[in-house]
Structure 1
């Protein structure tokens, strides 16, 4: 059973989510503040399939927790925000969150986001290839890491990893902004699609593919982007 850890300072919300997600075959751990969350996270880190972080907490905030989680784990992260400010959402994604859900929300909406992330990360598809290799890089869909030819891990945020994974899975295809947003965040492009350009630029730099004429992720004027490297997929 997939284990999820949720931190939210509202007891009613915690109780409701736990009951709803357990009814849908998830093992759910709860925390009411940042300190409790980190204690539970450190205890169960290797067992977790996803964490859910409320942005507003009594002793810290979800951004600090997101940063702490990302410093030691690639577990998928969903952030819950009551703010309508786009900046908050971008900050969370920059820190390594995989998705966000705006309050108020329904448990059904959150469940849909959880399922979408598990599908995108391969947790719901055991038959999918584990490794994708291209020009010296190896992307491991289980460990959620990318290593270079020198064996060093390339530092990527969760969303960076998901974007690269989507590119290598669709190598050679021209992908427009809507497809990339849907494939990496499970939603149509919207106000945050401007963040996509920044993210692609950063991903290029991480892969040493910067400059005026990138070789891996190419811009197709008026159409989108294409991952032009040859990619091989395998389970070993």
Structure 2
């Protein structure tokens, strides 16, 4: 394991779960930092910048979903919920609030490792300086800093989930992207929860891009088929 290996923050109040996840991730080449309480986790985020966070919803000192929502808004880390709540509505709510993935307990550690690897894949394209900075239609997105800059120079943070969707559009400009292609590109489980999560992320992206929902200029909905991104990346 190297010092530049991706750092995974684990928040779970069960010591055995923390140990199991930490051992599996370290064996796979990741660095880990474990927390038993949300307050410890939030304090830790002032010292570290994890690449991904594994969040249990059943926390003794904080509502897990509220924490996921704040992380999605303020952090560029990938967010994966690990929970014993198996109801479809729980999964839908978690994804709608900004989580990138939802894993139900009990789980196989190898599956968690695979999901994290899938979420941390980086695009090969950059601007020649090593930074993942791409311009389109007067906008600029920095995938290293998880920021979106408007033609007027106003910078807005984007979540990891929003960045994944925008990256997918930029890699496929002016081409129809179906729900099936989204599932293949972004990963996840097919069904209502995935579809609703995609709708929420695209809606948030449109808002941050200043889109008129009745007449979007950049992300066009083809009803019953998918979406088309109308700008060419520079």
What TM-score, normalized by structure 2, do the two folds share? 0.86
Match of 2:9 in 1: 5
Instruction: Write the distance in 2 (CA, Å) between the matches of 1:43 and 1:212.
Output: 43
Between the aligned partners of 2:212 and 2:172, the Cα distance in structure 1 is 21
**What residue is the counterpart of 2:23 in the other structure?**
19
Q: Distance in 2 between matches of 1:153 and 1:87?
A: 34
Q: Distance in 1 between matches of 2:58 and 2:189?
A: 26
**Which residue number in structure 2 is paired with residue 197 of structure 1?**
199
> Closer, same or farther in 2 for the Cα pair 1:29/1:201, shift >3 Å?
closer
Q: Is the 8 A contact 2:12 2:35 kept in 1?
A: yes
Alpha carbons 2:179, 2:195 under 8 Å: kept: no
Query: Which of 79, 86, 111 is 2:88 aligned to?
Result: 86
Unaligned 5+ runs, structure 2: 127-131
Which aligned pairs between 1:1-236 and structure 2 lie closer than 5 A? 1-45=5-49, 48-119=50-121, 122=122, 127-129=124-126, 130-184=132-186, 186-195=187-196, 196-232=198-234
Instruction: Using the TM superposition, give the Cα deviation of residue 221 of structure 1 relative to its aligned residue in structure 2, in angstroms.
Output: 4.1
User: Within 2, Cα distance between the matches of 1:198 and 1:216?
Assistant: 16
Q: Is contact 1:182–1:189 with CA below 8 Å preserved after alignment?
A: no
Shift in Å at residue 68 of structure 1?
3.8
Pairs aligned (count): 224
> 1:142 and 1:43 mapped to 2: Cα distance?
18
Deviation at 1:14, TM superposition (A): 0.9
TM score, norm. by length of structure 1: 0.86
